[in-house]
Chains A and B, each alone.
Chain A
Amino acid sequence: MRRTARSVLPGFGLSLGITCTYLSLMVLLPLATVFGRTAQLTWPAFWATVSDPRVVASYRVTFGASFVAALINTVFGLLVAWVLVRYRFPGKRLVDAMVDLPFALPTAVAGIALTTLYASNGWIGGFLDPLGVKVSYTWLGITVALIFIGLPFVVRTVQPVLDDLEVEVEEAAASLGARRWQTFTRVVFPTVAPALLTGFALAFARAIGEYGSVVFISGNMPMKTEIVPLLIITKLEQYDYPGATAVALVMLLASFVLLLSINLLQWAARRRAAV
């Protein structure tokens, strides 16, 4: 890291001042209200709120569907990144650009499009319905929406790592008698594994907070397909502010732990790359 005793560049005070003031007023103070509000609750009241059966059921839906979606994204994200980096096919640049669609498309639009697509009379739902598979308004629908939302996180994290992979290492493995599959599992995979894990964590973190794309397709049945963000909104609409903040606090803590582990993962990956 660069270490300058005193920089000749101006503007340190001004830029740091703007940054810290803005972050404090716009981000930290508003977030602190969640902790402040929850602190007004007694511990038993807090515990009763966050361990209520309906709330626990919504944790299960949110974390379960997010985990499955992130897992599917990890598999297909690696495949997509691999194909985009290693192979050539017509329209590749277009496909590459399209991967970012879930970042750019407003979540509400994704939500209504996926719901219509997977409804029992929809383009995809119409095929699945005769097979007895219902997607829209079920747990499966939530997972489908979360797969859509999370895909670019995995692809965009893995892609640069695959890009930087030295072909020479694979050649060495091949010349030492490794088969292609062995080279992949023993040489390529360990190198991309940290990025893959980071991508998984990013997709998972985004999924547990996701609202817009899920709320249309989930059906919102309490105990069955109700996600945590929707439960928070429901509580807010009933003016149950303590209840909403208590559940929000649990989600915030989960997000912070995830953010911390993602930063640690990236830090570890950078250190490995530096060595």
Chain B
Amino acid sequence: MTTVAAATHATTAPRAVTRATGESPAVRWTLTAIALVFLALTLLLPLALVFHQAFSKGLTAYQEAITDPDALSAARLTLLVASIAVPINLVFGVAAAWCISKFTFPGRNLLITLIDLPFAVSPVISGMIFVLLFGAHGWVGPWLVEHDIKIIFAVPGIVLATTFVTAPFVARELIPLMQEQGTEEEEAAIVLGARGWQTFWRVTLPNIKWGLLYGLILCNARAMGEFGAVSVVSGHIRGETNTLPLHVEILYNEYAFAASFAVASVLTLLALVTLSLKTLVEWRQRRADAEADAPDDDISQQRMAA
């Protein structure tokens, strides 16, 4: 809202005022140029390089690299892991956001900090803690060996590490959003006789859908792209415990650069899709907010006119 106000202000205000609060064109263009060159060097060049390298050996080599059986099995595992980790963290995120934003209780701020904890932990340590728990020398390791259950260097370990790393995403997006929305609408629904779940599906969910989607998109991107934590627990068994990011590493370390970048380009496309969806959701969210605020604006304009 403020930007819109500022923008209209700048265009309608007399020239002298705009100059007093803005920089001279020379400064403006220099700053913009430095910022854009910096962004091009740090963000755009690596992005362009991935695709350039991926196709450096031609289209057939590219196709071969991404349809290689090991690459396909890595892609399947990546999808499987994300399809388990993301829904679990969706349920957790909604539950956490509901109790934190709709109720007051002692220890609420501590709970918010605890939810953020996985973000503060190095990915390598996130993987290591599961090795300490379930590895052959871990706490429950001997029991697992006895019962022939494999968690570390197997798919369950990868799922656990990924779930840990992506735990905060949905909760983190929803908590501030739902705190801002307050409890009045839900309270009204309950008072009017709606049941709990009815209230959630009909009142809460429509209000938080964009925030929820935003959290899911980010959660999924991290789940599919996680490297450090998964690297520790996976054991790098080709065709079995290799995810796409790990497959990129293996190919790169074998000096199969073109193939490595070909697989990397698939992950890069995923990142670009994530960014587009994220931008779209932000845009829709802003539009929804603007529509919600619109009546207030009318009132304030009327008041100004009066």
Q: Tell yes or no: B69 within 8 A of A by CB.
A: no
Question: Does B39 lie at the interface of the complex (its beta carbon under 8 Å from any beta carbon of A)?
Answer: yes
Q: Of A83, A122, A228, which contacts B31 at CB under 8 A? A: A83
Write the A199-214 contact mask toward B (1 if CB under 8 angstroms, else 0): 0000001001111100
- Docked-complex contact A34 and B129, CB < 8 angstroms: yes
Interface of A is mostly: helix
Which residues 257-282 in B have Cβ within 8 Å of A in the complex? 257, 260-261, 264, 267-268, 271-272, 274-276, 278-279
- Judged by a CB distance under 8 angstroms, whether A70 is at the interface is no
**Which chain A residues (86-121) contact chain B, with CB distance < 8 Å?**
86-87, 89, 93, 95, 97-110, 112-114, 116-117
Give which listed residue, B20, B49, B118, contacts A27 with CB less than 8 A. B118
- In the complex, which residue of chain B has the Cβ closest to the Cβ of A101? B43
- Residue in chain A with minimal CB distance to B163: A26
Query: How many Å lie between the Cα of A101 and that of B268 in the bound state?
Result: 9
B167 pairs with A26, CB closer than 8 A? yes
Name the distance in Å between A218's Cβ and chain B's nearest Cβ.
Answer: 13
Min distance, Cβ A156 to any Cβ of chain B, angstroms: 12
A residues less than 8 Å from B100 (CB atoms): 19
B22-46 near A? 1/0 per residue, CB < 8 Å? 1100001001101110110111111
Please tell me if the beta carbons of B95 and A19 are within 8 angstroms of each other in the complex: yes
What are the residues of chain A within 8 A of B299 when measuring CB–CB? none
Contact across chains for A258 and B120 when beta carbons are under 8 A apart: yes
A182 to B261, CA, bound (A): 49
CB of A28 closer than 8 Å to a CB of B: yes
Interface string of A235-260 (1 = CB under 8 A from B): 01001010011001001100110110
CB contact under 8 A between A117 and B49, given known A8-B187, A83-B35: yes
CB of B65 closer than 8 Å to a CB of A: no
B117-154: which residues lie under 8 A (CB-CB) from chain A?
Answer: 117-118, 120-125, 128-133, 135, 137-139
Whether the Cβ atoms of A112 and B260 lie closer than 8 Å is: yes
A30 touches B133 (CB 8 A): yes
B-contact bits for A217-231, CB 8 A (1 contact / 0 none): 000000000001110
A-B contact count (CB 8 A): 302
B215 within 8 A of A: no
CB-CB nearest 10 A-B residue pairs: A209-B122, A106-B225, A174-B20, A212-B227, A211-B228, A10-B196, A113-B46, A18-B95, A229-B124, A15-B99
Q: What are 14 A-B residue pairs whose CB atoms fall within 8 Å in the complex?
A: A11-B102, A18-B91, A19-B99, A30-B130, A34-B128, A101-B47, A101-B271, A103-B221, A112-B248, A112-B264, A124-B45, A175-B20, A216-B249, A236-B232
Q: A15-B94, A108-B248 are in contact. List 17 more A-B contacts (CB 8 A).
A: A2-B182, A8-B190, A23-B115, A36-B139, A87-B31, A87-B32, A98-B43, A100-B275, A100-B278, A107-B227, A117-B46, A163-B2, A167-B9, A211-B124, A212-B227, A229-B125, A248-B128
* A residues whose Cβ falls under 8 Å from a Cβ of B: 1-4, 7-12, 14-16, 18-20, 22-23, 26-31, 33-34, 36-37, 76, 79-80, 82-87, 89, 93, 95, 97-110, 112-114, 116-117, 122-124, 147-148, 151, 163-167, 170-171, 174-175, 180, 183, 205, 208-212, 216, 228-230, 232-233, 236, 239, 241, 244-245, 248, 251-252, 255-256, 258-259, 263
